[in-house]
Structure 1
């Protein structure tokens, strides 16, 4: 028998991903998250126009922006995440984008409160399918020491989506109609779904969690894990819950982000109507205020929180909790100051400050 015949067959090689490819994957997911938030929050900007046209109450307007969307968005997140542990995360994300984009466009066809509620429920169903598999993909493409930064870049889709949704939605609603705003911002998401499906590859589970010390790092490439860190069969939901909620630090982080989100979404739903009713501004102006000013501030805070935490976290893991805590403590009184102003120009200018501190919690919290 020859030496070649006697040699054992070579083990399958793990795929290698260049830094450029991983960065492109990350920004495609940012683009998806941007459309996610455009379609999610546009109703807060054009809500006053919807309220007048469909003769809604403020309670109904609040339900459209809150419960009608969140009811299925929150409850479906866990089962979708479980499917993402067993099936293609890229396929789940692509399908989810098509679903929520289609239902967003359908919102422009609604002729009653009931039909608009049903379409918003559909938006919630679709949008529940993005972040669980997206967080999983990012965690496989980026090793732990870079995850807060990577997830803060992904979370940059929140201020980008809020900004474009507010500016475009306000302008379209002012110059065309609120119905056209839903259709125009909804349909392009289908192209994003197609791009993700064609470009993003499924990395092995746990790809970035283990890297052997003797594997050389090639230019533009990461070290390759010897074996995927994820088990062949995902643990049960009960086992996962026991592990994560058995740690007080994790529980406190979840409680903190829950309270922060409660306040953020609650006030955000009525920011635009407040400025319209209080100062007599039109939809386009209000969209510009909350799009540009709010978007820039929130974007800066989101990126700052992630990169600052990864930098400070090298010295102590406590900074993954301290950065969000300090940011929210500073933001709260600044928000109150905004809504005590009698001049909308001063109020709008002051919005720059709390947004920077408010959104520092996103990257480090998701990183944890």
Structure 2
């Protein structure tokens, strides 16, 4: 029987739905590889410290500013290119580049070589996030974006599972260098897959065919959106707390509670990977559902997540009992990236079509300079300053700066919620 135009239309819509799900899955996998390469160093810090004999401040530099400075600053020029040229090609090239630099991390024989490789890892990773977020926003309607962006953000948790569980096991059995070498391999495969199977999405929106604004014009437009400013600052504070914990809680558990790399890796994989992945996805779905009634729920969701974490901080930092510490660490770690889906979706909806990649890159620039750049570094410096007083327990007290940053993020999301409706309405 011949198909009707309605049948053909339905079949085409189904194919498009399956295709965009495939694209989202590949981009999520790329984000996971991004986080494997980024976070595997955290489970390896104690082993790197033992081999090279460096201080916590230098370990903070390795896991924070060395990566974040170039990751953040290169994100803006690459995002400008993504607003003008093929985002698929940009993602594929950057993915291959940061995978190559991760490979070089495993080959370093001096600490400065490892530091240099981490810097260049940041250059490569800078190109995947903004371009991916922009593509997702062209594939999904505004009322679907928080769920789609949260699904993409689950890549963070998948990456953490592999980085901590796999990285810890490999480090304990074969050495920390092999953990870097193993982390590099998936990126080369995904770079080839993305370049060959993903088509450049059509840019959608009322201004998709308008002249591309200059970077100065882009900044001026975004600066006028007060909610955007608060969202960016709030995500930076959330990232400060999250990256500070992710970088040094493994070392804290090893030093103060006697766990080894494999045990800490399994714990992080379970809590941050599985628990955090569920929290990240369902936070996006919840934000999409509730924001249909009131768009401010995109801010309320990360605000509530940060509030729920606050009672756990004193137990995490002060308890000498391992079971209590592990129980207390679960909620802050599992909820540490809940903000990504709702906040990224809101930024992509606030920003005009032709500056979406740059809106994402500016948020990543500020968020990563403050969060990834300063979070681990401040914790490392605080630990070194406290070490003469409290000895091996210095990280226990240094990690308290994360609780302060989390409180500031709550205030920022509340302030963003007060202005969000007006900014979306253009008033």
TM-score (ref. length: structure 1): 0.88
> CA, structure 1 residues 357+187, in 2 after alignment: closer, same or farther (shift >3 Å)?
closer
Distance 1:349 1:186 in 2: 32
Report the Cα offset of residue 267 of structure 1: 2.4
Q: Which residue of 2 aligns with 1:179?
A: 177
SS at match of 2:337: helix
Aligned counterpart, 1:116: 114
Higher relative contact order (CA 8 A, sep 6+): 2
Q: Is 2:293 the partner of 1:293?
A: no
Contact 2:34–2:125 (Cα < 8 Å) also in 1: yes
1:166 equivalent to 2:164? Answer: yes
The offset of 1:352, in angstroms, is 2.8
User: Runs of 5+ in structure 1 lacking a partner?
Assistant: 1-14, 211-228
Structure having the larger proportion of residues in helix: 2
1:171-229 deviation per Cα after TM superposition (whole angstroms, max 9, x unaligned): 000000100110011122100111111111111111xx47xxxxxxxxxxxxxxxxxx4
* CA distance in structure 2 between the partners assigned to 1:69 and 1:333 by the alignment: 31
After TM superposition, the structure 1 stretch with the greater mean CA deviation from structure 2, 304-313 or 334-343, is 334-343
Matched, 1:367 2:345: yes
Give the structure 1 partner of residue 241 of structure 2: 263
Q: How far apart, CA to CA, are the structure 2 residues paired with 1:38 and 1:358?
A: 16
- 2 CA distance for matches of 1:243 and 1:326? 29
Unaligned runs of 5+ in 2: 1-11, 347-427
In 2: Cα distance, 1:249 partner to 1:358 partner: 21
Tell me the SS of whatever aligns to 1:187: helix
Conserved? CA contact 1:103–1:119, under 8 Å: yes
> By how many angstroms is 1:300 displaced?
1.7
Aligned 1:1-368 pairs, distance under 5 A: 18-206=16-204, 209=205, 229-368=207-346
Q: Is the 8 A contact 1:148 1:363 kept in 2?
A: yes
Q: How many residues align?
A: 334
Give the aligned CA root-mean-square deviation in angstroms: 1.5
Going from structure 1 to structure 2, the CA distance change for 1:118 and 1:240 (only over 3 Å counts) comes to: same
Is the Cα–Cα contact under 8 Å of residues 93 and 191 in structure 2 kept in the other structure? yes
TM-superposed CA distance for 1:339, in Å, is 2.6
In the alignment, the residues of structure 1 paired with residue 238 and residue 271 of structure 2 have an alpha-carbon distance, to the nearest angstrom, of 20
Cα distance in 1 for partners of 2:334, 2:173 equals 31
- Output one character per residue of 1:49-91: Cα deviation in whole Å (capped at 9) or x when no partner: 0110111111111100000000100011111100001111111
Computing the radius of gyration over CA atoms, which structure comes out larger, 1 or 2? 1
Deviation of 1:230 after TM superposition, in Å, equals 1.1
Contact 2:98 2:122 in 1 (8 A): yes
**Contact 2:154/2:281 (CA < 8 Å) preserved in 1?**
yes
Q: Distance in 2 between matches of 1:44 and 1:301?
A: 22
1: distance between equivalents of 2:323 and 2:96? 39
Alignment partners' CA distance in 1, 2:93 and 2:231: 30
- Distance in 2, matches of 1:314 and 1:257, equals 22
Superposed CA offset, 1:320-368 (max 9, x none):
1111112112213323322322222332233332334433211110001
